[in-house]
A and B are shown apart, each in its own frame.
Chain A
Amino acid sequence: DAGITQSPRHKVTETGTPVTLRCHQTENHRYMYWYRQDPGHGLRLIHYSYGVKDTDKGEVSDGYSVSRSKTEDFLLTLESATSSQTSVYFCATGAVQSTGELFFGEGSRLTVL
């Protein structure tokens, strides 16, 4: 277990407002990931980080930005939330470069009205 904490766990917001989701890990892993889970789509990668200030886009990055100023924290920001961003967001981390597997947080459920 990578000691992953996501906050907030639940959030309801209105279209056009900014939202930031936080992921915190305690295991000093280099790699961190943000996925979204939607029915019929499984998990899709939004953005990921391979070190402090090193980030890259995933499959569904439009409308999202990320920041990683410390090893332990990875922030996902929706600059102007839309209803299509209503989803469950999962953070993941692990020694993916060696052992390969990721460990996931409990998820953040976001509803955009």
Chain B
Amino acid sequence: AQSVAQPEDQVNVAEGNPLTVKCTYSVSGNPYLFWYVQYPNRGLQFLLKYITGDNLVKGSYGFEAEFNKSQTSFHLKKPSALVSDSALYFCAVRDMGSGAGSYQLTFGKGTKLSVIP
């Protein structure tokens, strides 16, 4: 079974500094990896994904993520944090699908990012 670990419950960073939110995963086969963001009282919004190709993927709002196969990691990064980036961030992995053609996305427990003015 696949799994996702987000080792930090909370990350604090000063506005203007670079930020990193960590994610490691376990899945059979080649992974489909995702990052989502959730603002208070809202649903999750898709940020970016890795399926294949370049290990550095770029997404919405200036975020990017680096896929590292040897370390089974997919860390979310941004060069310069904004106060408006403060939110809850989720990493997710998709499985390879069953014979019936079903797919599951498994999410980490989330990391609360606080950007301090």
Residues of A within 8 A of B (CB): 4, 31, 33, 35, 40-45, 48, 50, 54, 56, 58, 90, 92, 96-97, 99-107
The DSSP consensus for interface residues of chain A is: strand
Cβ distance B89 to chain A, nearest Cβ, rounded Å: 11
Q: Check A100/B94 contact, CB under 8 A, given A90-B44, A106-B43.
A: yes
Query: Interface residue count for B (Cβ, 8 Å)?
Result: 26
Determine how close the nearest CB of chain A comes to the CB of B12; give it in whole angstroms: 19
Are A105 and B43 closer than 8 Å at their CB atoms? yes
Contact A96 B105 (CB under 8 A): yes
Q: Which of B13-21, B64-72, B77-85, B95-103 contacts A (4 or more CB under 8 A)?
A: B95-103
Question: If the complex has contacts A41-B109, A42-B110, are A101 and B103 also in contact, measured as CB distance less than 8 A?
Answer: no
Q: Which B44-88 residues sit within 8 Å CB-CB of chain A? A: 44-46, 49, 51
16 extra interchain contacts, Cβ-Cβ under 8 A, other than A90-B44, A96-B94? Answer: A4-B43, A33-B105, A41-B109, A42-B6, A42-B109, A43-B90, A48-B104, A56-B100, A58-B104, A92-B44, A96-B105, A97-B103, A100-B34, A100-B51, A101-B34, A103-B46
Our pick among B43, B44, B106 for the contact of A45 (Cβ within 8 Å) is B106
A38 to B100, CA, bound (A): 30
Contact status A107-B43, CB under 8 Å? yes
